[in-house]
A and B are shown apart, each in its own frame.
Chain A
Amino acid sequence: MSEMNEKLVFDRPKSVIDRATHYCPGCHHGVAHRLVGELLDEMDLAEKVILTTSIGCSVFLYNYLNVDAVEAPHGRAPAVATGIKRARPEHFVFTYQGDGDLASIGMAEIIHAANRGEKISVIFVNNTVYGMTGGQMAPTTLIGQTTTTTPAGRCMTHEGAPIRMTEIIASLGGVAYAARGSLDNVKNIRKAKKYIKKAFEFQLSGTGFGFVELLSACPTNWKMTPLAANERIQKEMIPYFPLGVFKDVSEEGGIC
């Protein structure tokens, strides 16, 4: 009677609403949502979260995570989150932003929120394009990558180089934790979850700003199959955007 002692070992986390997402097949936003949902459940945070969402494909995040949420103007999620956290410090505040949102129009907000050491957490999903608007070049678009606004491929002399956000954030004084993970295979997904957990813990302990970048695929705008897009992360993105922890104040003895 093997059926009798079988255990349900993987199911939808409670914080992730049972609803079909609007994401394209093979889009890694769903994985990122689930990791966040799992952690909110495991750390028992769902009731005290105020989520600040962004503009981009992740704009409907409030439909998928069963938590209180505020929709911020394009790129301004860290500024809105700053206000929420300062007014309601007992709540757990995090933002979830894409690369078009965080690394271009929201650059001023993210840099200053990080430098001030706001006690918030930021999940940054990097898929190297503006996904929702049709695949235009983003600041993170790789050299040679074809997008609708760089039809011949991004050229270094013409459009500059892709921004490595985690390295920039890690260099700022107020930051407690900065790491870059990837969502392309099981090992990397498990590691990425650990990074997000660490960033969340730094907020809970009141240490400072936590930042986690997640490399993800956009098969539709890369004009690839989901499987080819998933492989591109390993082949092209990780060599330029190295994975790992770039700043962790608990290892530097900086906590007082």
Chain B
Amino acid sequence: MSRIVVQEDRCKGCLLCTTVCPVDIIVQSDRFNASGYKVAEVPEADADKCTGCASCATICPDVAIKVYKTPKKKKGE
């Protein structure tokens, strides 16, 4: 299961990441960070849909997203 980690104190809530996610799982949360921005998040229910493509991190202007990718298991493993 691939996943992203949003560094919440850096996120400015611009939501550019939500426009590029191929599986549309990034949304704006209800939480505010210390700067007063509503940060982006992947809801728990959708977490397993992340493909680890890193599109969100590529467009993030604040380098607030880390991407962890888990390689798909090969057949027979």
Q: Are A21's CB and B20's CB within 8 A?
A: no
Which of A41-89 touch B at CB < 8 Å? none
Cα–Cα distance between A31 and B58 once the two chains are bound (Å):
8
Find residues 1-19 in chain A having any chain B CB closer than 8 Å to their own CB.
Answer: 2-3, 5-12, 16
Main secondary structure of the interface of B (DSSP, over half): loop
What 1/0 mask marks residues of chain A from 169 to 188 whose CB sits below 8 Å from any chain B CB? 00000000000000001100
Q: Which of B16, B63, B70 contacts A5 (CB 8 A)?
A: B70
Produce 1/0 per residue, B33-77, CB < 8 A to A: 001010000000000000010110111111101111111000000
- Cβ-defined partner of A25 (8 Å) among B9, B14, B54, B66: B14
Instruction: Decide yes or no: A185 and B68 within 8 Å by CB, A20-B9, A28-B61 being known contacts.
Output: no
Minimum CB–CB distance for B40 against chain A, Å: 11
Nearest-Cβ distance from residue A194 to partner chain B, whole angstroms: 13
Interface size on A, residues (CB 8 A): 31
A26 at interface by CB-CB < 8 Å: yes
Are A9 and B37 closer than 8 Å at their CB atoms?
no
Residues of A within 8 A of B16 (CB): 26, 226-227, 230
User: Is B59 touching A185 in the complex (CB atoms < 8 A)?
Assistant: yes
Q: By the criterion CB–CB under 8 Å, are B20 and A25 in contact?
A: no
- Contact (A6, B70) CB under 8 Å given A34-B63, A186-B55, A186-B59: yes
B59 in contact with A7 (CB, 8 Å): no
Q: Contact check: which of B1, B2, B61 meets A30 at CB < 8 Å?
A: B61
B interface residues, how many (CB within 8 angstroms) = 31
* Bound-state Cα–Cα, A26 to B57, Å: 13
**B35 cross-chain contacts in A, Cβ below 8 A:** 20
Contact B52 A227 (CB under 8 A): no
Residues of B within 8 A of A24 (CB): 12
B37, closest chain A residue (CB): A25
Q: A93: shortest Cβ distance to chain B, in Å?
A: 25
Cβ of B2 to closest chain A Cβ, rounded Å? 7
User: A226 to B62, Cβ gap below 8 A?
Assistant: no
- Chain A residue with Cβ nearest B63: A12
- Shortest A205–chain B CB gap in Å is 28
Which residue of A has the minimal Cβ distance to B1? Answer: A2
Q: Are A10 and B71 in contact, CB atoms less than 8 angstroms apart?
A: no
**Is A27 on the interface with B (CB-CB < 8 A)?**
yes
Are B15 and A226 in contact, with the CB atoms below 8 A? yes
Say which residue of B1, B57, B69 sits within 8 Å of A7 (CB atoms): B69
Q: In this complex, what residue of B is CB-closest to A13?
A: B63
Known: A10-B65, A26-B61, A189-B59. A227 touches B15 (CB 8 A): yes
Residues of B within 8 A of A (CB): 1-3, 9-10, 12-16, 19-20, 35, 37, 52, 54-55, 57-63, 65-71
Question: 19 interchain pairs (CB within 8 A)?
Answer: A2-B1, A6-B1, A6-B3, A6-B68, A8-B66, A9-B68, A10-B57, A20-B9, A21-B62, A26-B15, A26-B16, A30-B61, A30-B62, A31-B60, A185-B59, A186-B20, A219-B14, A226-B15, A230-B16
